[in-house]
């Protein structure tokens, strides 16, 4: 599906979010600023004019077997949430799954990882157990027909399958994410993305050390992060 960029929308969203994020990172600190940004992200997605075309609904979770990349600030937000809300038993169950997933995923390269189904440890009884703090990738991942997601799940090696998506929702989500990441970058933070399982495991096992590295504006995790271009931020400029 070819994307017709709505430059006016992208420009408006990126400049608004970028300015708010820059102010809030300075005045509120990274974690609070990020949470405020997530709230705006959800409001913006809800206002997308094509949101009624989405097939996504509770209990539909083919996409929760696909690879998820996260930025460090998302990991720290999730860690705080699960420590406050999850029982010791549930935390242990999640940690066990993170270990099992990391063992496999750490042996794969980027492309192999995309071709490998792996149940997200936070998918419990068919629902996202961290829905309010789920990664930006999950917030933005959507489809207008779940059959494409099912096909991708059933044929993980087939990279030609591309679930149909809603273009305004897609551009809205990407603009929000890129604008916040650019504000983080301008404030000196590392904005590399990391594979969810490995980064989460390290943050759970070494919360102080990983957080300290993050606020010292270094790479928070020992796993290698990837530098992802902020294409929508650039389109909005
Ligand atoms: S992205 Fe696909 S699998 Fe995920 S909720 Fe939407 S339709 Fe279902
Ligand atoms: S964090 Fe939630 S939405 Fe994202 S892949 Fe895991 S279970 Fe699915």
pLDDT tens across 68-87, in order?
999 999 999 999 999 999 99
Distance 63 CA to ligand 1 centre (A): 6
Interatomic CA distance for residues 58 and 127, integer angstroms: 7
Average pLDDT of span 133-160 = 95
Alpha carbon 175 to chain centroid distance? 13
pTM: 0.95
Regarding the beta carbon of 120 and ligand 2, being less than 6 Å apart is answered yes
Query: How many Å is the Cα radius of gyration of the chain?
Result: 17
Start-to-end CA distance of the chain, whole Å, equals 25
CB 14 within 8 A of CB 130: no
Regarding the beta carbon of 142 and ligand 2, being less than 6 Å apart is answered no
Interatomic CA distance for residues 100 and 109, integer angstroms: 17
How long is the chain?
A: 237
Q: Which ligand is nearest to the CA of 56?
A: 1
* pLDDT for 92: 97
**Per-residue pLDDT band at 1 (split at 50, 70, 90):** low
Average pLDDT of span 88-102 = 97
What residues flank ligand 1, with Cβ below 6 Å? 55-56, 60-63, 141-143, 146, 149, 163
pLDDT tens across 44-61, in order?
999 999 999 999 999 999
Interatomic CA distance for residues 108 and 95, integer angstroms: 20
């Amino acid at each position: 599906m070819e994307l017709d960029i709505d430059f006016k929308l992208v420009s408006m969203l990126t400049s608004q979010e970028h300015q708010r994020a820059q102010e809030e990172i300075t005045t509120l600190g990274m974690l609070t600023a990020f949470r405020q940004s997530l709230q705006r992200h959800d409001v913006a997605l809800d206002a997308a004019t094509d949101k009624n075309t989405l097939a996504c609904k509770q209990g539909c979770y083919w996409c929760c077997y696909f690879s998820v990349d996260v930025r460090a600030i998302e990991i720290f937000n999730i860690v705080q949430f699960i420590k406050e809300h999850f029982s010791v038993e549930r935390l242990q169950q999640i940690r066990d799954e993170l270990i099992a997933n990391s063992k496999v995923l750490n042996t794969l390269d980027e492309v192999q990882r995309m071709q490998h189904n792996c149940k997200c440890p936070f998918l419990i009884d068919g629902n996202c157990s961290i829905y309010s703090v789920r990664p930006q990738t999950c917030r933005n991942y959507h489809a207008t027909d779940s059959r494409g997601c099912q096909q991708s799940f059933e044929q993980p090696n087939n990279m030609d399958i591309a679930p149909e998506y809603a273009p305004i929702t897609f551009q809205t989500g990407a603009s929000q994410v890129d604008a916040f990441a650019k504000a983080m970058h301008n404030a000196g933070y590392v904005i590399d993305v990391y594979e969810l399982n490995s980064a989460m495991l390290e943050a759970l096992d070494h919360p102080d050390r990983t957080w300290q590295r993050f606020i010292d504006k270094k790479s928070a995790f020992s796993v290698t992060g990837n530098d992802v271009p902020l294409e929508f931020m650039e389109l909005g400029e």
